[in-house]
């Protein structure tokens, strides 16, 4: 069943609380596959790499900023598949919810497999080589799977991978953190702090379109206008008790 690919994604989230999009298997648009990288300030700052494949985003949590140095390996922990609608999500997941924290659209573009074979087969074998055409990520990269481990929701098998830059014209040998200075959103130009302080362009569980920038403020203002002003009740001071005179 196609929808079962996003069952774990849906189980982990309360869509009455989180602004993330509900999990629905989508359809690819055009021949080029999309990719996104979301900078995610959760318990720890990390980068969520998502590759469009067969109607969902195959996803990894990369522990540090992707490195342009072919000699530097970044740990990438495989996580549950995400819906294609997640590719436009930028906003704040409430504290206490799964993945609570601020999400920033750090990079986006298209990707293609380096080989002429089936990328799903390469992914299953644990050796996927891709070419990125993004705003910050370019050229060849490799995803290499390490040994399996059991952890996470209901002991779902998860895998550790390595994300490695290939030695091409986009590589920067010896400069492991060349992309660390890129701290703004490729979608809105905002920093994580700005998104957190006035997060508006987010998904909501009852609609698929984002609201205009002024909508949340005007709605809040209208709700306040509907509420009658509360007045503190005047508390009358109690009369002083009369002292009883003792009879002599």
Q: What is the pTM of this model?
A: 0.75
Cβ atoms 201, 90 nearer than 8 A? yes
Look at residue 69 and tell me if it is in a domain.
yes
Return the pLDDT at 211.
37
Q: What are phi and psi of 124, to 5 degrees?
A: -65, -30
CA 49 – CA 6 distance, rounded (Å)? 17
Look at residue 147 and tell me if it is in a domain.
yes
Look at residue 243 and tell me if it is in a domain.
no
Look at residue 239 and tell me if it is in a domain.
no
Buried b (16+ CB within 10 A) or exposed e, 94-111: eeeeebebbbbbbbbbeb
Q: Check whether 137 has a pLDDT greater than 60.
A: yes
CA 173 – CA 181 distance, rounded (Å)? 17
Look at residue 3 and tell me if it is in a domain.
no
pLDDT in tens, 121-133: 999 999 999 999 9
What is the domain count for the chain?
1
CA 68 – CA 140 distance, rounded (Å)? 10
CA 1 – CA 4 distance, rounded (Å)? 6
Look at residue 149 and tell me if it is in a domain.
yes
Look at residue 198 and tell me if it is in a domain.
yes
Where in the sequence is the domain holding 54, given as residue range(s)? 33-205
- Give the residue, 94 or 1, on which the prediction is more confident: 94
Name the nearest CA neighbour of 143 among 50, 229, 16, 209: 50
pLDDT in tens, 155-164: 455 689 999 9
Look at residue 101 and tell me if it is in a domain.
yes
């Amino acid at each position: 069943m196609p929808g079962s690919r996003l069952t774990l994604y849906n189980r982990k989230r309360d869509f009455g609380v989180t602004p993330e999009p509900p999990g629905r298997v989508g359809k690819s648009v055009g021949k080029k596959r999309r990719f996104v990288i979301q900078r995610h300030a959760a318990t720890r700052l990390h980068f969520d790499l998502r590759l469009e494949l067969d109607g969902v985003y195959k996803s990894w949590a990369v522990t540090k900023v992707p490195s342009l140095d072919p000699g530097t390996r970044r740990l990438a922990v495989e996580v549950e598949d995400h819906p294609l609608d997640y590719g436009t999500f930028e906003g704040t997941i409430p504290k206490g919810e799964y993945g609570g924290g601020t999400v920033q659209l750090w990079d986006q573009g298209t990707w293609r497999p380096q080989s002429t074979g089936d990328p799903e087969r390469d992914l299953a074998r644990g050796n996927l080589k891709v070419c990125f055409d993004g705003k910050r990520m370019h050229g060849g990269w490799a995803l290499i799977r390490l040994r399996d481990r059991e952890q996470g929701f209901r002991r779902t098998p998860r895998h550790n991978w390595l994300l490695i830059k290939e030695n091409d014209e986009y590589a920067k040998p010896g400069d492991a953190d060349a992309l660390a200075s890129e701290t703004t959103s490729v979608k809105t130009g905002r920093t994580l702090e700005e998104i957190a302080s006035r997060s508006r362009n987010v998904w909501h569980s009852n609609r698929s379109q984002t609201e205009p920038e002024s909508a949340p403020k005007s709605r809040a203002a209208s709700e306040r206008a509907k509420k009658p002003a509360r007045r503190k009740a005047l508390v009358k001071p109690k009369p002083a008790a009369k002292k009883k005179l003792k009879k002599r």
